[in-house]
Amino acid sequence: MLAEDNNDNSSSNSGITPHKEAELEAEPSAGTGTNSNSGGGSSSSDKKSIAKDIVNSYFSPEFINRLDEVLIFNPLSHETIQNIAKIQLKKLKLLLLEEKNITLMLDHNCEKWLAHHGYDRNFGARPLKRLIQSQVLNPLATMILDDKIYPGDTVHVVAPHDTQLTNKNDIEDILIALKNDSDIIELHLADVDRHTGGSKLRFFCKHNNR
């Protein structure tokens, strides 16, 4: 929603600059009187009508009169969340490589697992961000601080097998390959669980410079 205030009440003495425009985002909780899953097949005009009713019930006429337009944001699809997960993990890989010289390896099963468990139709990509923080970032940060991961290392992250979500054969092949490499060790998370809430992902590290 875009609110525009054209009244200039500022003066040279007040030192107050008028707020000309503001973009206001209403969270889903503003519509608690409606079913978030209803209207999935509703037309655009139906959704606008529902949104108008919600706005009218929550805000005063004086405030509504300053709104230029009410915009409808459709819920993110699961496919979109998976693409967001891919982008966020790619950024994380680049950040670790540039700042810590650590190579992070995550396969598509990790992306699918994170996207699935980080998906919430009502809250967009925020649950996914929190999940990546608790399941990937926090364990990595703790292991770096505990000197379990060093600059130059390669860290492999493996998703747990989840029926109808991840490919069991792919995961087993990855685990076999990692365990057959004598230079790769599994990083046990017992010491970091108290900080992360217990990551379900498995971390393997190759100390390339040691």
pTM (whole model) above 0.85:
no
pLDDT, tens digit, 9 for 90 and up, residues 22-41: 555 555 444 444 444 444 45
- Cα separation, 128 vs 84, in Å, equals 9
Q: Nearest CA to 204 among 123, 194, 181, 192?
A: 181
Q: What is the pLDDT of residues 36-87, one digit of tens each?
A: 444 445 566 777 788 788 888 888 988 888 888 777 778 889 899 999 999 9
**Helix 108-117 with 78-100: angle, nearest 10 deg:** 120
Q: Choose among 102, 67, 76, 108: nearest CA to 89.
A: 108
Q: Which residue's structure tokens are 């393997």?
A: 204
Is 152's pLDDT higher than 60?
Answer: yes
Domains of the chain: 2-69 (no CATH), 78-206 (1.10.8.60)
